[in-house]
Structure formats: C-alpha cells, structure tokens
Amino acid sequence: MTWLVWRQYRLQFFLVAALLAAFAVLIAITGVQAANQYHAALAACAAGHGCRTLDELFLGSHAVGFLVISTLGAPVLVGLFWGAPLVAAESEAGTTHFAWMQSVTRRRWFAVKVGWMLLAAAVWGSVISALVTWWEGPNNALQLNAFDTGRFDIMGIVPVAYSVFALALGIAAGALLRRVLPAMAVTLAGFIAVRGVIAFWLRRHYLSPVTVYHSVTTSFTPPGSYWTLTSGVLFPNGQPIDQNTSGNVLSGVPVNYLPASCNQTTRGAFTPPPSCTQALAHFRGFLTYQPADRYWTFQGIETGIFLVLAAALIAITAVTLLRRDA
C-alpha cells in the first residue's frame, strides 16, 4: 500500500519538495539580511545614535514580504490538490471499483492513503510556518504585532493544523461528492468560511479578555505583542463615547463635553489649564485586550479546534466510504 501511495504521488511529491526548497532559499537569503539590518539598527539605537530608523525600518524585500503574507493561502492548496482528488478522482475514473476488489481491505486502503497524506500536509504546513516564523522574528520584535489577525495565522503551530484541516475537508468533500471539481470548489469555499469565522469572531473569545481603565491624560500600553480588541473613552456615568462624532477632541474626549478652557486651537504641545484637567479627570479611557503571554495558549487552542474539525471530517469520510457499496 505504501508503495502504491508512493507511485501515485511521487510526481506531486517532487514538485512540492522543489517548491518548498525554492521558498526556503528565498526566505533564508532575505531573512539573514533582515536580521542583520535589525541588529545593526538595534545596536545604533542602544548606542544613542537615534532610534528614528527603528520605527520606519522596513525589513526584507517587498516581494518576499508579499510572498510571506500570501502563505495565508498555502494550507488550502493541500486540500485542493491532494485532498479533493484523493477519493473523488478515483471515483470519477472508476478505479475505486478496481482498488476495492483487491486483497487489501477498503479500510486499510483508506487508512494508509489518508495517513500518508496527513503526514505530508503536516510537513507542508510546518516547513512553511517554521520558515515564516523565523523570517518574521525581527518584524515581530519591532512592531509587536505577532498576535494580530493575519499575522497570528501564518506563524507558530496553527498553519500545521490549518493544512491538516484543509486536507481532511478536501478528502471529505471528494468522498461525498465523488467529483473532483465540485469537491475543490467546496473545499476552497469551506476553508475560507471556517477560517474567516474563527479568525474574526471566535478567536477573541478563547479566553476572557482583560480590560484596563486608565486616566485619559495618561496612556496605557500593555507589555509585548498584545492584541487590542477595543479601546475608547467612557463618560463619568460609564457610557462609552461615540468616537465617530465629528469635532475637536482632547485626549479622546470631544471638546463639546469639556469646559471652554480645554478648547485650544494651536497645534503642538498643549498644557491644559487646571479647570480643564479637573474636567478631564472624570473621564476614563479603557483598553480591552488579550495579553501577549497568552499567545501560545491561543495558538494551542486554535490548533486544537482545527485538529478536532479535521478528525471529525476524517471520521465522516471513513464511515461514508466503508458503508458505501462498491
């Protein structure tokens, strides 16, 4: 069986290995440059020559940066090109009739094929993620945005789970629909929908976020790469201020809620008079966020969710295939 899987997939295997190797070379070359640039700037900053460049430093090349962001789409490729055809292509060509008549049981045929494919998907996801995580290291240290939606999704261990899920989704869609192209379309749409729903709506609820209230005249910044969920300013009665009102704003408070002494028109440093400071003291700013030290907990939870989804899909496929008449 393993020999059969190898014969069926060796061409794809070589293609993928070549793609990964090319990607690794590109990442390694530009990543070393970015790391050197970052350490030089950091050393200059520490030596007191000015930290100007730290904020505006663009690390690495634009083209490779684009490639790194587009690894958001890498997991679904596994589902499209390996997952969907796994059963569907054989059904379409009628070769399942032949495969399921051999001395190898259908259960074993399915277990070995799916097992090798899952291993390949995990390798695909982890190689890409390892390269991207390493490449983005200086950027994360500089911009502290590793927890942000879109960055969280291409680093750490979640890309492995996404790849495994995409593969399982493709296999399940192919087994149920028995036609390759509709299975591919369903895999693509399903992957985007599940990823979108989880990234935009579910992820923030994995752990209760932390809300910190602070005086509006002092700002509050949590340490490290925290994830901002909401922020704003509260009235003295605790109601949030609508930030979409137009007009001048002082420390996040629209000036029409403040005494006239707060109304300044000159730009630049403005030291509010005491009557203004006193009025401002009744307002409070708030920041709701997920602290930076929850990063790996969130990675673990998200990985777990996608692995459970993948396992459920594989189970459905197995039940469907084993019950189906050949």
Partner 1 sequence: MTWLVWRQHRVQYLIGAALLAAFAAMIVITGEQVSNQFHAAQVACAAGHGCRHLGGLFMGSKVVGFLVIATLGTPVLVGLFCGAPLVAAEAEAGTTQFAWMQSVTRKRWLMVKIGWMLLAAVIWGGVISALVTWWLSPTNAEQLNQFDPGRFDIVGIVPVGYSLFAVALGVTAGALLRRTLPALAVTLAGFIVVRVLITLWLRSHYMSPVTVIYNVLSGFTPKGAYWQLASGVLGPNGQPLAQPNNTPYFDGIPQTYLPGACSVMNGPNPPNNPPPACAQALSHYHAYLTYQPADRFWTFQGIETGIFLVLAATLIMVTAVTLLRRDA
In the complex, the residues that contact partner 1 under the rule CB under 8 A are 37, 40-41, 43-44, 47, 49-50, 52-53, 62-63, 66, 73, 80-81, 85, 89, 180-181, 184-185, 196, 200, 244, 246-249
CB of 136 to partner 1, least distance (A): 19
Query: What does the radius of gyration of the chain's CA atoms come to, in whole angstroms?
Result: 27
Contacts of 203 (CB under 8 A, 6+ apart): 149, 152, 298, 302
DSSP H helices, the chain, are: 2-46, 52-56, 62-69, 74-78, 84-93, 95-99, 106-143, 158-177, 180-197, 274-280, 295-323
Integer Cα distance of 91 and 83 in angstroms: 14
Q: Return the closest-CA partner of residue 84 out of 204, 172, 207, 211.
A: 172
Nearest approach, Cβ of 299 to partner 1 (angstroms)? 21
Q: Give the nearer residue to partner 1 in terms of CB position, either 64 or 146.
A: 64
Residue whose entry in the numeric block shows the structure tokens 């929850």: 294
Q: Residue 167 CB, nearest distance to partner 1 (Å)?
A: 15
Q: Name the 3-class secondary structure at 288.
A: strand
Query: 260: which 2 tokens?
Result: 């006239």
Return d(Cα 317, Cα 64) in angstroms, integer: 38
Residue 311: CB minimum distance to partner 1, A: 26
Query: 266 by DSSP, 3-state: which?
Result: coil
- CB atoms near residue 320 (< 10 Å): 13
Task: Please identify, using beta-carbon distances, which residue of 231 and 307 lies nearer to partner 1.
Answer: 231
CB of 280 to partner 1, least distance (A): 17
CB of 245 or CB of 297, closer to partner 1: 245
Name which of 36 and 102 has its Cβ closer to partner 1: 36
Looking at the Cβ atoms of 54 and 301, the one nearer to partner 1 is 54
DSSP classification of residue 292: G
Q: Which residues pair with 214 in a beta bridge?
A: 285
Q: How far is CA 174 from the centre of its chain?
A: 26
Question: Nearest distance from residue 203's CB to partner 1, in Å?
Answer: 13
Query: How far apart are CB 262 and partner 1 at their closest, in Å?
Result: 13
Rounded least distance, CB 120 to partner 1, Å: 16
Q: Which is nearer to partner 1, 50 or 236 (CB)?
A: 50
Tokens 């030290």 locate to 293
Q: Please report how close the Cβ of residue 124 comes to partner 1 at its closest, in angstroms.
A: 14
**Residue 128 and residue 122 in contact, taking contact as beta carbons nearer than 8 Å:** no
CB closer to partner 1, 54 vs 99 = 54
Nearer Cβ to partner 1 (71/318)? 71
- Tell me whether residue 35 or residue 249 sits nearer to partner 1 (CB atom): 249
Residue 164's contacts (CB-CB under 8 Å, 6 or more residues apart) are 118, 121, 122, 125, 306, 307, 310
